[in-house]
């Protein structure tokens, strides 16, 4: 995820927020920093552990704001916690390896060949359904090395 080291990350996030009449406050900036530093989606307990000063309620509230602005994505697996990551637009499109046992999620980069097949599937589905599809989400479900 080379884009995560992009120095303009902050600026791009700020722009996306401004477009929604939202500010890039200190708390929101810290969330972006934590998520940018991680190589996988994080739960809120994990975020709070990495930035001890943050208030839980503000984290929840700011993640909603950041998600509405398209800066972060929320993902839900089968375990108890939701997970957050920077949006594809900021870090590059990728898919997920999801551990069916512990819920852990890791990133896996998308490849051109696969994306081409997926785009075709999306187009086909759009034709045959009332849905207008915006993007796709591919999870590879298995067991992570920790749980194996």
Partner DNA sequence: ATGAGTGCAAAGGCTTTGCATTAGG
Partner DNA sequence: CCTAATGCAAAGCCTTTGCACTCAT
Which range in 60-68, 91-99, 105-113, 125-133 contacts DNA by CB under 7 A?
60-68
Rounded to whole angstroms, the Cα distance separating 60 from 74 reads 11
Q: Which residues pair with 106 in a beta bridge?
A: 97
Tell me: does residue 102 bind its own copies (CB under 8 A).
no
**CB-CB neighbours of 85 under 10 Å:** 23
By CB under 7 A, how many residues form the interface with DNA?
Answer: 22
Q: Does 57 bind DNA (CB under 7 A)?
A: yes
Kindly provide the b/e burial profile for residues 12-39, where b requires at least 16 CB atoms within 10 angstroms of the residue's own CB.
ebbebbeeeebebeebbebbbebbbebe
Please, which of residues 36-95 interact with its own copies by CB under 8 A?
A: 74, 76-78, 95
Q: Give min distance, CB of 114 to DNA, in A.
A: 29
Q: By C-beta, is 19 or 121 nearer to its own copies?
A: 121
101 is a contact residue toward DNA (CB under 7 A) = no
Phi, psi of 137 (to 5 degrees): -145, 120
16 scored as a contact of DNA (CB under 7 A): no
């Amino acid at each position: 995820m080379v884009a995560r080291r992009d120095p303009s990350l902050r600026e791009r996030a700020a722009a996306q927020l401004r477009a929604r009449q939202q500010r890039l406050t200190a708390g929101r900036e810290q969330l972006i920093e934590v998520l940018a530093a991680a190589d996988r989606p994080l739960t809120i307990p994990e975020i709070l552990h990495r930035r001890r000063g943050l208030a839980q309620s503000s984290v929840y509230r700011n993640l909603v704001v950041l998600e509405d602005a398209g800066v972060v994505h929320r993902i839900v697996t089968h375990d108890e916690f939701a997970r957050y990551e920077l949006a594809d637009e900021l870090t590059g499109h990728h898919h997920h390896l999801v551990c069916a046992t512990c819920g852990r999620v890791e990133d896996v980069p998308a490849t051109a060949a696969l994306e081409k097949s997926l785009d075709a599937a999306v187009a086909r589905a759009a034709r045959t359904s009332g849905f207008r599809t915006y993007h796709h989400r591919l999870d590879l479900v298995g067991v992570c090395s920790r749980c194996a």
